Amino acid sequence: MRDKLEILALVLGFMGLFGTITITFLPTWRVSAFIGANIVVMEDLWEGLWMNCWMQVNVRLQCKVYESMLILPSELQAARALMCVSIFLVVIALIITGCGTRRFTCCGDNVRSKNVTLALGGCLYLLSFLTTIIPVSWVGLTVISNFYNPLVMEGRKRELGSALFIGWATSGILLITGIIILVSYSKHQAKDEDPYFTGAPLRPLPNPSTGGGSYLKRTPSGSHKHHQYV
């Protein structure tokens, strides 16, 4: 059962890594909202962490990298930093989790070292979940707040982009991966700490009356048959 959980955790970990890289470089964190009387249907504006893009009606895409990070709003600046940290954490978690599995010989036959390594990988997955869900939710909350804010001009209002939905799904994958690894670790930790668990079934002692084994009968010493009292 543990081997299946470890394989499932590795597969989900690779999916989480692919998701974090995808949402980090997707330019569709915020997209233009077609509301009000001045509807511009000739082009669609995308805003990401590294660039903004214009999609024209003839399916012509033009992107431009931000010249300075300081021109970005605070939520996008924080999202850029946290998403880079999230990618780094997922990569380290994958390496550590791979070393903690039974199929790898990184820690040798030391079961305790493998369990501790596996638990560390699970904690890193949970930390990467936090560094992914926080920027995605922060940007999403800002978009929704500005959309319903009457003080914001209609031309500056945005809608939720596809990168945010992928980010929420990726955060769920990272959370599930960390929980699976920690549950697997806790089960084997409890089994290792059981003082009555030896890994092999106990064999009953032979009964001397059935002749299942040799039985040595205690005989009194020949030189002291009777107690002597002085």
* Residue boundaries of the structural domains of the chain: 2-26+72-192
Determine what percent of the chain is predicted with pLDDT higher than 90: 35
pLDDT digits (tens, 9 = 90+) for 180-206: 888 877 766 655 544 444 444 445 555
Task: Give me the DSSP letters along 25-58.
Answer: H-S-SEEE---SS----SEEEEE-SSEEEEEETT
- Say yes or no to pLDDT of 146 above 70: yes
pTM score, two decimals?
0.74
Residue 191: the pLDDT is 54
Is 161 exposed, middle or buried (CB count within 10 Å of its CB: 0-12, 13-18, 19+)? buried
- Say yes or no to pLDDT of 80 above 50: yes
- Residue 134 pLDDT class (50, 70, 90 cuts): very high
The architecture in CATH of the region 2-26+72-192 reads: Up-down Bundle (1.20)
Structural contact between residues 74 and 139, judged by C-beta atoms closer than 8 angstroms: no
Residue type, 211: G
The region of weakest confidence among 31-35, 64-68, 139-143, 196-200 is: 196-200
Between 171 and 69, the more confident residue is 171
What is the CA 44 to chain-centroid distance, rounded? 35
pLDDT digits (tens, 9 = 90+) for 2-43: 677 778 888 999 999 999 999 999 999 998 876 655 555 567
Residue 32: the pLDDT is 82
- Residue 63 pLDDT class (50, 70, 90 cuts): confident
What residues have CB less than 8 Å from 63, skipping those under 6 apart? 27, 51, 52, 53, 54
- Residue 139 pLDDT class (50, 70, 90 cuts): very high
- Say yes or no to pLDDT of 221 above 90: no
Q: What is the mean pLDDT of the chain?
A: 78
Place of tokens 């638990």: 119
Between 68 and 17, the more confident residue is 17
Residue type, 161: G
Scored b (16 or more CB within 10 A) or e, 144-157 reads: eebeeeeeeeeeeb
Q: What is the mean pLDDT of residues 41-69?
A: 81
